[in-house]
A and B are shown apart, each in its own frame.
Chain A
Amino acid sequence: MITVVKPGLLTTVQDLGRPGYQQYGIVVGGALDGFSTRVANLILGNDDNAAVLEMAQTGPDLRFETETLVAWCGADFEARIGNESLPRDRPVRIAAGETLSFGFARSGLRAWLAVAGGIDEPLVLGSRSTYRRAGIGGHQGRPLVAGDQLAAGKLSERSQQLLGSLHTQGRRATGWSVRPQTLGGAMVAGTMRAVIGPEWDWFTAESQQAFFSTEWQATKEADRMGVRLQGPALELVKPREMISSAVNTGIVQVPSAGQPIVLLPSRQSVGGYPRLAAVAAVDVGRFTQLRPGDKVRFQKIPLATAHEIHLARERELNLIRMGLARLTA
């Protein structure tokens, strides 16, 4: 059992989302960075889709009743047990009765905490993700509050082996780690790769150029559905009404005021604003680390390049998966 001593700013139970129900108006949602979530689970020996805790800005304080393993990926939180600082991106052993405190994110915004066995919540429409607006999924359909009690699922053989090995050696964490941000090849900090969107041609040449040359600023109008950016107003060649159509995570839509919005996984299933571009799927996770006021640029890449990077990252993860199976603590 895990007791929520302090909930943090916005801590929710998430997995890889609820695909298959967009046709009914139900959002996919799930962890805002699915790749980091998969890595955190992989590190521990969990299923990729095991439920994790997503935290933002200020993380939770959690008391563990039984000895277990945890791992988190994402922002650099000042995680500690008592005075002992803890490393991210690797299995960390928590002894029975210890309280894990995440504190503030020193850089970035969000992290995903996996617990050996996964957070055990009932599946709602095939997922354990919290869908706040509908009040379903996750822990009672809402963010965590102080006093909540969470259960973890059964530990896999791999988790038991890792935990046993750390326990026997009296160690807190493994020497090895897996950093999701480093997979998939080189990237430029603060620059997100993007492909053009379905309504690219609706925008003036100046606006097309401005989108890829501007240093945009993330605004406070940001949540799990999307982030509004501030910069020069983007304009259409001529006023046009769009017929509502499907949207995707990463889509950059431009309402009539001209300030773009980048859609995140809890986006609606359909939208009615022109879609200028789309952040490459491999960079959506990095995008969710932006805080209000942070600067961000977009680099135009062909769709085939976006796929190449995507495939390279998946293949790298596969190699790591095979390598980890041979590693002990």
Chain B
Amino acid sequence: MRITPLGDTALTIELGDSIDESTHGRVRGAWQALQAPPLPAVTELVPAYTSVTLFYDPYAAVQAGAPDAGIVEWLSGKVRERLKNPPKSEKVKPRTVEIPVCYDGEFGADLGLVAKHTRLSIDEVINRHCKADYLVYLIGFAPGFPYLGGLPKELNAPRHAKPRMNVAPGSVGIAGNQTGIYPLDTPGGWNLIGRTPLRLFTPEKDPPVLLRAGDRVKFRAISAGEFAKLETSR
């Protein structure tokens, strides 16, 4: 474990140097241990692929007992202490979230391209996309946007050289070895293979996002009729 300053108001706790499930497990463990109860002067925690970043208020740290000239050392000490003796808490089991996806018609506008690139039939692309287990490594880029691991190698397809100006919310895409879901209407260069009627970002809700770091994800193919039904009932 390595603790690196990220500017003068954050520290990054490095827990590995590759994107894999065992690193993710350590990230998850550290994140949970640092969460409750919160360390003094810490304003928020941000997990990523190989690290947890802790944001702090230097003035609050000094008020909580840090020496003026040793805030980083003081806070790093608290982090190490906490990670050595994590508070007893129930292991939170990862949730599995099923995402219904309609792969039909315009929703899967780039399915043909992906099929051509991967030399699979369209049905086989859909099949393999649904069959795989995915892990949400982190949420970022946009509210509720999941960085998913677990796309089968044979489904890799390059992103568009020229991004679309508008991608509808709920669009499911493939780019390189990644698959993801667009939470907002944004420009985007991924191959669009389907769309989910679920909302990934609902500001009125707490938490405001459907997916969280550490969740397991499964895609389930649905018909256009089911899509319409789910969309109106959400």
Contacts and interface: CB of A to CB of B under 8 A. Distances in A.
B219 interface: no
B72 interface: yes
Nearest to A24: B209
B7 A251 contact: yes
Contacts of B144: 24-25
Interface string B192-213: 0000000001010001110011
B8 A307 contact: yes
B36 interface: no
Interface string A123-139: 01100000001101000
Nearest to A282: B8
A249 interface: yes
A308 B139 CA distance: 34
Contacts of B69: 304, 307-308
Nearest to B186: A133
A11 interface: no
A265 to B, nearest CB: 12
Contacts of B213: 23
B61 to A, nearest CB: 9
A267 B10 CA distance: 15
A278 interface: yes
Contacts of B4: 198
A322 interface: no
Contacts of B18: 243
Contacts of A243: 17-19, 48-50
Contacts of A269: 46, 140
Interface in B1-54: 4-10, 12, 17-19, 43-51, 53
B142 A278 contact: no
Contact of B62 (A19, A306, A311): A311
B5 A245 contact: no
A23 B46 contact: yes
A280 B141 CA distance: 24
Interface residues of A, number: 41
B7 A25 contact: no
B68 A245 contact: no
B135 interface: no
B145 interface: yes
Contact of B8 (A22, A124, A275, A280): A280
Contacts of B5: 195, 198, 303
Contact of A246 (B10, B43, B59): B10
Interface in A279-316: 279-281, 303-304, 306-308, 310-311, 314
Contacts of A145: none
Interface in B70-113: 70-72
A310 B63 CA distance: 13
B49 A278 contact: no
Contact of B9 (A23, A25, A198, A281): A281
A247 B6 contact: yes
Contact of B138 (A133, A270, A303, A306): A270
B158 interface: no
21 contacts: A19-B43, A19-B55, A23-B45, A25-B142, A197-B7, A198-B6, A243-B17, A243-B18, A244-B147, A245-B48, A245-B50, A246-B6, A246-B46, A249-B7, A250-B7, A270-B48, A270-B140, A275-B6, A278-B7, A279-B7, A303-B72
